[in-house]
A and B are shown apart, each in its own frame.
Chain A
Amino acid sequence: EVQLVESGGGLVKPGGSLRLSCVASGFTFSSYTMNWVRQAPGKGLEWVSAITSSSSYMYYADSVKGRFTISRDNAKNSLYLQMNSLRADDTAVFYCARDDYSNFPFDYWGQGTLVTVSS
């Protein structure tokens, strides 16, 4: 069974940093492109970032470019999102999501981890 489990969310002050993790199981993690998608409270979904299977390519939403860094450790079946210079409008539930083997997006999602940016 495919499972994605996020962690690392919490309360952080504006300008602070946080690192999210997503541990994958039930599939060959190193073969799949992985993503972060977020959802601000009461709002819609926003794709944040993607990383290809061997970390050859990373992509970012304009809203996070230069502040967030996506990475992965295939030996640990883990996906990360390093978030710096956090702002109040980064407050959201962050989901990790997998692209399927044909690279169609988001066939599996984690349960999400809440990041709150507030003083």
Chain B
Amino acid sequence: DIQMTQSPSSLSASVGDRVTITCRASQVLRNDLGWYQQKPGKAPKRLIYATSSLQSGVPSRFSGSGSGTEFTLTISSLQPEDFATYYCLQHNSYPFTFGPGTKVDIK
């Protein structure tokens, strides 16, 4: 099975900050990596698919990049509604695996 790690596990940031979250896989993923945002008590929401493709309706301040085993989610200018937990997901092979999550809260 492919193992996923994320860093940091949590971060505190201010509105307007640039935020970068890193996800690492135990095997090469091609571009089979997505990013999801979850707010408390809500279902997750897809932000990015295929490493760097922006989900329709998601603000352009979100972007994804990477290749091989290392991938990043960047929020170019953090907004109040972006405080949430972010998960990466590999779908290169079953069983699909999520990263452990990165909680972004207000500094």
Contact = CB atoms under 8 A, between A and B. Distances in A.
Interface in A69-119: 95, 100, 104-107, 109-112
Contacts, number: 56
B97 A47 contact: yes
Contact of B94 (A50, A104, A107, A109): A50
26 contacts: A44-B99, A44-B101, A45-B36, A45-B98, A45-B101, A46-B98, A47-B89, A47-B98, A50-B96, A59-B94, A60-B95, A61-B95, A62-B95, A104-B34, A105-B46, A105-B49, A105-B89, A105-B91, A105-B96, A106-B36, A106-B44, A107-B46, A109-B43, A109-B44, A109-B45, A111-B43
Interface of B: 1, 34, 36, 38, 43-46, 49-50, 53, 55, 87, 89, 91, 94-101
